[in-house]
Amino acid sequence: MDKVKSTFDKVIADKIRAFPEKARVIEKAKKDGRLLAIRGSMDYVEKVLPFCYAAEKVVVNSSDSPPDVNGFDAIFVGCPGRLRLKQWEAPLQTFVDRGGVLLTTDWSLKHVIEKVFPGTIRKRGTASGTFPLRVRNPKHPLLEGVDCENTPWVVEPASHRIEIVGSNKVDVILDAPAMGERANVLVSFPFGKGLVVHAISHFHLQGSDKTGYVSAYLLTIVIDEAVHRNQMGQASSRIRIIEPATAQVPTRIRILT
């Protein structure tokens, strides 16, 4: 756990040092942010949730009935995502529709996304191995401030490949061409005022310092985006890209390969 804490501490320090405006949204999340995690039997988001910055962090089991999701900023669903969908479907849709951010991983594609948000993405085949990332959408809010080009991403055995169904809705943020056909790694799509984010494989800190850093960075920036949408109103929490002539620090955090 000390390694997890040190990784998150480094991510937060790097973000604030490189992008001072991030301090405001991070402090807002620490003061008022609310995160809900649905425990998975394969992706253990509850292991990293204590180190994510938020005033309130709640973990429930996938077999539990949903709590009142009003007031949460982000919901994390760990793999395999075997929820009681008759109870969870409406609350999840309402949560995202009102501006929340939903983050799901791996087998949640088939068990949650295909059923709750049909016509967006779906499972088509499986993959396994370790593959270098390619940045497909460097301007996407979830990549603000980080350059993870060529960083290895661990795709655990039988991970669900992501096929795009609603191509006009879905943003491919990261992919890994070496993974072969349907090489999408991280995708997102809007639903109402909110955002759904899905990643292949397991999102809790991956197996190396490099991939662990990327995982922690992406988790924290999901929180930033959720707080921006739910609590910051029109006040921008986006990172200001400092012009190179005046920058005293790098404007993007480079993940070395």
DSSP string, 131-144: EE-EES-TTSGGGT
- C-alpha distances in angstroms, 180 versus 106, 136, 161, 201? 17, 15, 10, 15
Structure tokens at 160: 């669900």
**111 pLDDT higher than 70:** yes
Q: How many residues does the chain have?
A: 257
The pLDDT tens digits of the residues spanning 35-69 come to 999 988 887 777 788 889 999 999 999 999 999 99
Q: What is the pLDDT of residue 97?
A: 95
ω before 80 within 30° of 0 (cis)?
Answer: yes
Tokens 């396994």 -> residue: 128
- Closest Cα partner for 129 from 106, 158, 150? 158
**CB-based contact 226:55 (threshold 8 Å):** no
Sheet with 34-39: strands ordered across: 56-61, 34-39, 74-77, 101-105, 194-199, 184-191, 171-175, 134-135
| Domains in the chain: boundaries | 2-254
CA neighbours within 13 Å on the CB side: how many for 5?
A: 3
Q: Is the Cβ–Cβ distance between 144 and 15 less than 8 Å?
A: no
Mean pLDDT of 75-85: 94
Kindly tell me if the per-residue pLDDT of 175 is higher than 80. Answer: yes
96: its two tokens: 């995202």
- Of the segments 178-187, 196-205, 225-234, 240-249, which one has the largest average pLDDT value? 178-187
Distance from C-alpha of 254 to C-alpha of 257, rounded to nearest angstrom: 9
Burial of 157 per CB tally in 10 Å (0-12, 13-18, 19+): exposed
Considering the segment(s) 2-254 as one domain, its CATH architecture is: 3-Layer(aba) Sandwich (3.40)
CB 52 within 8 A of CB 39: no
**How do residues 231-242 score in pLDDT, each as one tens digit?**
755 333 332 222
Which ranges constitute the DSSP H helices of the chain? 2-18, 22-32, 85-97, 108, 114-116, 209-230
Per-residue pLDDT, 240: 25
Q: Which residues pair with 121 in a beta bridge?
A: 164
User: Per the confidence metrics, is the pTM higher than 0.85?
Assistant: yes
What is the spatial distance between Cα 22 and Cα 60, in angstroms, rounded to a whole number?
29
Residue with tokens 């799509």: 189
